[in-house]
């Protein structure tokens, strides 16, 4: 499925503000290289490289994305993850029952091109507690750079694959409550790349 990521998003990129396309930026940060910083207010995610540099990605932010801030770690990550909508979401949107089937962890939507979690997902925990906060791909690329009705942090599928490859399990993630430094773009060509892990919990926000 990875080989078809560009084809899956054809038509979507044209509606994205170019500022939200992936690029290398000047981003002085006290965080160690390998840290992820999520700026929900400005709809950017930074992968800190050190020496004042970072890779900046555009993101779409759902209401759950605004509901939590702080520091966490990447407990797990998964390729083409299954999505398990919470019971309350199924009650609110009974039409979801047409999409779900019985999977290994309950009623869910199997991973694939039509799955709301997209090509990859990173699962954020604080100690032994699941924050229910996810960084994941999307099958709606035109929503990048916007506030969306549901979910946490969504990225273009090709970008979440790139982030997934760069990020180690155990990496630190800082989710900013508000504000966030502006970063200055420097010349760099986007790159894309792909590992697998079981989701740590049964119910997932998206």
- Return the percent helix, strand and coil in the chain, to nearest 5: 20, 30, 50
State the DSSP code for 109.
Answer: B
Q: Is 19 marked active-site? A: no
CA distance 151 to 158: 19
Among 190, 129, 122, 189, residue whose Cα is nearest residue 162: 190
* Phi and psi, residue 95, nearest 5°: -65, -15
Pick the catalytic residue from 120, 136, 154, 158.
136
Would you call 136 a catalytic residue per the annotation? yes
Which of 152, 156, 163, 183 is catalytic? The answer is 152
Nearest to 172 by CA among 36, 48, 30: 36
What gap in Å lies between CA 163 and CA 58, rounded to an integer?
12
> Which residues are catalytic, by number?
136, 152
């Amino acid at each position: 499925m990875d080989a078809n990521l560009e084809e899956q998003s054809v038509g979507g990129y044209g509606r994205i503000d170019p500022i939200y396309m992936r690029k290398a930026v000047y981003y002085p940060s006290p965080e160690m290289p390998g840290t992820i910083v999520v700026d929900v207010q400005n709809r950017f995610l930074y992968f800190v490289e050190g020496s004042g540099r970072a890779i900046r990605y555009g993101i779409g932010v759902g209401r759950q994305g605004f509901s939590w801030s702080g520091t966490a770690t990447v407990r797990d990550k998964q390729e083409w993850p299954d999505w398990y909508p919470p019971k309350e979401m199924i009650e609110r949107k009974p039409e979801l029952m047409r999409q779900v089937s019985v999977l290994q962890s309950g009623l869910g939507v199997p991973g694939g091109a039509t799955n709301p979690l997209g090509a990859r997902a990173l699962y954020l925990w604080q100690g032994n507690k699941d924050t229910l906060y996810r960084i994941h791909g999307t099958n709606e690329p035109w929503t990048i750079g916007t506030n969306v009705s549901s979910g946490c942090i969504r990225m273009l599928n090709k970008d979440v694959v790139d982030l997934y490859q760069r990020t180690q399990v155990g990496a630190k993630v800082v989710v900013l409550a508000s504000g966030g430094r502006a970063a200055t773009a420097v010349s760099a060509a986007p790159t894309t790349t792909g590992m697998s892990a079981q989701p740590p919990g049964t119910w997932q926000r998206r």
